[in-house]
């Protein structure tokens, strides 16, 4: 039997009702749902709070005490049996379609005390709505117990689960978790307490995929107060359609001039991914990239006066990003650009990267290989042949321009973006400001299918 404990502040009635709606949708009866009145650390009496805040912030104290209340509720339940699962949820989560399979997945797992069924892995970007592994997460270093279960030993810093918003305890596990929480004496956040325990203190496991997700509709209310995050997969081009149209026009100009002057080019990086997956720019990424052979740099430099009839060309005095980014192309009309503080070029722009060709034999190719040495540090064996394609628009239905992509683009994408056909990662860089984005989100592309047009 599954029993659910929802940690919820008294004032957040809408959140609790939202949780009830999800649980009822998946067939959880009311009698199995228990509300745990959350403790808001910032509103605790100063004298009481002072005894807890030597190592933790008031929000962390509130979260810690709220989780202890949930564990106490589980241990006080006299109507339990050893086979019951106790799911502790924070009230800002989303249940995925894996939720109905959770009890079966857990029933097939070895005996455990606690299980992360939803977590933000260490070293991950913010993974709201993520149920799949980030490409950098090394599951090879973890012990796989069943098809969907991995052991958590707390020994590998790079690969342990974080977050307390989706945890399942056995009855015995709740007793043990309560004991280690009391022993910690408020030195660490509650999820860190769990992670740092040894297998002897707590037998810990995690599910892959995550069955509970921290979706972007809410942020932690206990920790930060009420806050609603913006949609990380919002179509950024629609905020200023002229930006995209300018980039498309510049790409068309490049197609009109580069090939006839002996310069082979291709859409690159996120723009290549955008073509492969959306047949246009990635809707939620405000970047445009192309790539040319380093051997063609002199030809490109000769062509710059011609290109400057249609666009401005900024040449980096010293190429950046491992010596691969050489030029920024941006519109001639200043009224259609936005200055970027501290930079000699405005937005929008097209980045022009270079790649290096090495004619090395390869068993899979009769033609020479290309090895790309760039900011990603990737080496890709592929042919240099390109093909002419049509690129659409996010903001102008029916608009089509001609551009080029490598025929072996899937080889490139597989090397640069593992799981690119199913994994969508929100933009890591705000090119309008030339600053990193704080919240980077990993999600199944099918989860944002209603927000983007995905090409199968």
Whole-number pLDDT of residue 161? 79
Whole-number pLDDT of residue 58? 78
Whole-number pLDDT of residue 399? 94
Quick check: helix, strand or coil at residue 395? coil
pLDDT tens-digit profile of 242-274? 999 999 999 999 999 999 999 999 999 999 999
Lowest mean pLDDT among 24-33, 226-235, 331-340: 226-235
Residue 363 has pLDDT above 70, yes or no: no
Whole-number pLDDT of residue 136? 53
pLDDT tens-digit profile of 79-122? 777 778 999 999 888 888 789 999 999 999 999 999 999 876 64
Mean of pLDDT values over 404-410: 94
**Nearest CA among 251, 378, 365, 354 for reference residue 299:** 354
Whole-number pLDDT of residue 328? 97
Residue 15 has pLDDT above 60, yes or no: yes
Residue 78 has pLDDT above 90, yes or no: no
Mean of pLDDT values over 17-41: 89
Whole-number pLDDT of residue 130? 53
Residue 450 has pLDDT above 50, yes or no: no
* Most confident range, picked from 24-38, 51-65, 159-173, 355-369: 24-38
Task: Mark out the alpha helices in 258-335 (DSSP H runs).
Answer: 269-278, 297-307
Looking up tokens 């740099």 gives 297
Share of the chain above pLDDT 70, in %: 82
pLDDT tens-digit profile of 161-200? 778 889 999 999 999 999 998 888 777 888 888 888 888 8
pLDDT confidence band for 37 (50 / 70 / 90): very high
Residue 437 has pLDDT above 70, yes or no: yes
Buried b (16+ CB within 10 A) or exposed e, 112-137: bbbbbbbbbbeebbbbbbbbbbbeeb
Whole-number pLDDT of residue 263? 96
Domains, the chain, with CATH or none: 2-224 (3.90.550), 236-448 (3.30.460)
Whole-number pLDDT of residue 339? 95
pLDDT tens-digit profile of 301-319? 999 999 999 999 999 999 9
**Beta-strand pair 85-90/161-169:** antiparallel
Residues 6+ apart with CB under 8 A from 129: 94, 213, 214, 215, 216, 441, 443, 447
Whole-number pLDDT of residue 118? 83
- DSSP H or E segment with residue 97: none
């Amino acid at each position: 039997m599954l029993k659910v404990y929802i940690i919820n502040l008294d004032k957040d009635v809408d959140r609790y009702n939202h949780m009830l709606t999800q649980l009822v949708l998946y067939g959880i009866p009311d009698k199995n749902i228990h509300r745990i009145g959350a403790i808001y650390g910032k509103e605790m009496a100063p004298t009481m709070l002072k005894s807890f805040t030597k190592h933790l912030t008031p929000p962390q104290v509130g979260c810690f005490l709220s989780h202890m209340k949930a564990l106490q509720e589980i241990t006080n339940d006299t109507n339990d049996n050893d086979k019951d699962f106790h799911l502790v949820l924070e009230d800002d989560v989303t249940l995925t379609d894996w939720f109905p399979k959770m009890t079966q997945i857990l029933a097939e797992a070895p005996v455990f005390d606690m299980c992360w069924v939803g977590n933000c892995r260490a070293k991950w970007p913010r993974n709201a709505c993520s149920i799949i592994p980030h490409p950098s997460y090394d599951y090879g270093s973890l012990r796989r117990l069943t098809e969907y279960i991995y052991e958590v030993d707390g020994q590998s810093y790079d690969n342990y689960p974080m977050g307390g918003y989706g945890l399942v305890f056995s009855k015995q596990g709740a007793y043990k978790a309560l004991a280690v929480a009391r022993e910690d004496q408020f030195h660490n956040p509650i999820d860190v307490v769990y992670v740092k325990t040894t297998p002897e203190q707590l037998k810990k496991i995690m599910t892959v995929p995550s069955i509970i997700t921290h979706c972007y509709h809410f942020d932690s209310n206990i920790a930060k107060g009420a806050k609603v995050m913006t949609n990380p997969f919002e179509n950024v081009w629609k905020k200023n359609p002229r930006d995209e149209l300018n980039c498309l026009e510049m790409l068309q100009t490049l197609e009109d001039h580069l090939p006839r002057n002996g310069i082979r080019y291709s859409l690159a990086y996120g723009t290549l991914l955008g073509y492969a997956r959306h047949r246009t720019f990635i809707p939620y990424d405000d970047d445009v990239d192309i790539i040319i052979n380093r051997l063609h740099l002199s030809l490109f430099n000769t062509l710059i006066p011609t290109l400057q009839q249609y666009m401005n060309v900024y040449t980096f005095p010293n190429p950046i990003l491992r010596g691969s980014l050489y030029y920024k192309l941006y519109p001639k009309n200043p009224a259609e650009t936005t200055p970027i503080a501290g930079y000699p070029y405005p937005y929008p722009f097209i980045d022009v990267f270079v790649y290096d060709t090495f004619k090395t034999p390869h068993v899979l190719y009769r033609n020479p290989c290309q090895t790309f040495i760039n900011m990603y540090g990737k080496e890709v064996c592929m042919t240099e042949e390109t093909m002419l394609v049509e690129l659409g628009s996010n903001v102008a239905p029916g608009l089509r321009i001609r551009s080029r992509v490598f025929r072996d683009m899937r080889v490139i994408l597989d090397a640069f973006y593992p799981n690119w056909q199913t994994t969508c990662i929100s933009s890591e860089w705000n090119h309008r400001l030339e600053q990193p984005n704080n919240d980077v989100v990993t999600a199944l592309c099918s989860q944002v299918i209603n927000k983007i047009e995905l090409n199968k």
